[in-house]
């Protein structure tokens, strides 16, 4: 009896995971080719995804100034943070692990949204539409990672680098 119940849950998660990855990825298994394709993006856009791109989220960060070229030192510090605190749940590809893969995250989300999410996770999960949509597909709440503002900014730079931004 218990086992049948477990199987149903596992099957349910499987279905959601499939939906989740098909939402995130344009119909192309090649990670690199579709990265900057607006056409691919338009097809997968939903109201919620658009809300994510246009929204700055909820928190202290209202205006993040990005540098061009990106700051290699910050990106490298951000990579260290990723490897110690984020790696267990996030891949650098588009693939879902526990949380969404990071590839393309800087196209899906405004820099302020990312910074607010990292530093104000609980409030965003309670109130932000795009964060809640992520939670629906991932099934767990991302725990607050207690990063300093500086570490959060470093991670953002690492995400930009991972997305091939210059
Ligand atoms: C225990 C697993 C876990 C860890 C560790 C974790 N995350 Fe997450 N993360 C998630 C989940 C799950 C989501 C999706 C939202 C939700 O369900 O809470 C998410 C969502 C995100 C998103 C939004 C992605 C998108 O495409 O919208 C970002 C950005 C993010 N996490 C950054 C980080 C950073 C930075 C760290 C490390 C400092 C980190 N996460 C550590 C589980 C985790």
- The answer for 45, left when phi > 0, alpha when psi is -120 to 50, beta otherwise, is beta
Confidence of residue 7 (pLDDT cuts 50, 70, 90): very low
pLDDT tens-place string over residues 73-104: 999 999 999 999 999 999 999 999 999 999 99
Count: domains in the chain? 1
Quick check: is 58 in a domain? no
Quick check: is 104 in a domain? yes
Nearest-10 crossing angle of helices 2-24, 129-138 = 130
Cα 164 to Cα 166: distance, rounded to the nearest angstrom: 6
| Ligand 1 atom closest to Cα of residue 151 | 38
Give residue 3's pLDDT: 52
Whether residue 1 has pLDDT greater than 60 = no
Quick check: is 64 in a domain? no
16 within ligand 1 shell (Cβ under 6 A): no
Q: Which of 34-43, 88-97, 136-145 has the lowest mean pLDDT?
A: 34-43
Gap from CA of 131 to ligand 1 centroid (Å): 10
Q: Which domain holds residue 130?
A: 90-166
Cα 14 to Cα 16: distance, rounded to the nearest angstrom: 5
- Tokens in use for 17? 């995971």
Quick check: is 82 in a domain? no
90 within ligand 1 shell (Cβ under 6 A): yes
Confidence of residue 11 (pLDDT cuts 50, 70, 90): very low
Q: Which of 27-41, 80-94, 127-141 has the lowest mean pLDDT?
A: 27-41
CATH of the domain at 100: 1.10.760.10
% the chain with pLDDT above 90: 64
Whether residue 4 has pLDDT greater than 90 = no
8 Å CB contact between 26 and 44: yes
Quick check: is 164 in a domain? yes
8 Å CB contact between 124 and 117: yes
Cα 60 to Cα 48: distance, rounded to the nearest angstrom: 22
Cα 141 to Cα 159: distance, rounded to the nearest angstrom: 21
Confidence of residue 47 (pLDDT cuts 50, 70, 90): low
Quick check: is 142 in a domain? yes
Quick check: is 105 in a domain? yes
Quick check: is 38 in a domain? no
Whether residue 38 has pLDDT greater than 80 = no
Give residue 54's pLDDT: 77
């Amino acid at each position: 009896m218990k086992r049948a119940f477990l199987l149903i849950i596992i099957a349910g998660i499987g279905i959601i995971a499939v939906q989740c990855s098909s939402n995130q990825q344009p119909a192309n298994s090649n990670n690199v080719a579709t990265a900057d394709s607006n056409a691919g993006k338009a097809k997968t856009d939903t109201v919620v995804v658009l809300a994510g791109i246009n929204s700055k989220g909820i928190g202290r960060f209202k205006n993040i100034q990005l540098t061009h070229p990106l700051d290699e030192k910050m990106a490298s510090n951000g990579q260290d943070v990723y490897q110690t605190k984020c790696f267990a749940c996030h891949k650098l590809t588009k693939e879902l692990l526990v949380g969404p893969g990071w590839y393309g995250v800087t196209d899906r989300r405004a820099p302020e949204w990312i910074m607010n999410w990292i530093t104000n996770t609980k409030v965003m999960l309670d109130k932000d539409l795009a964060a809640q949509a992520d939670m629906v597909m991932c099934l767990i709440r991302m725990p607050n990672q207690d990063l300093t503002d500086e570490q959060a900014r470093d991670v953002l730079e690492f995400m930009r680098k991972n997305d091939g931004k210059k």
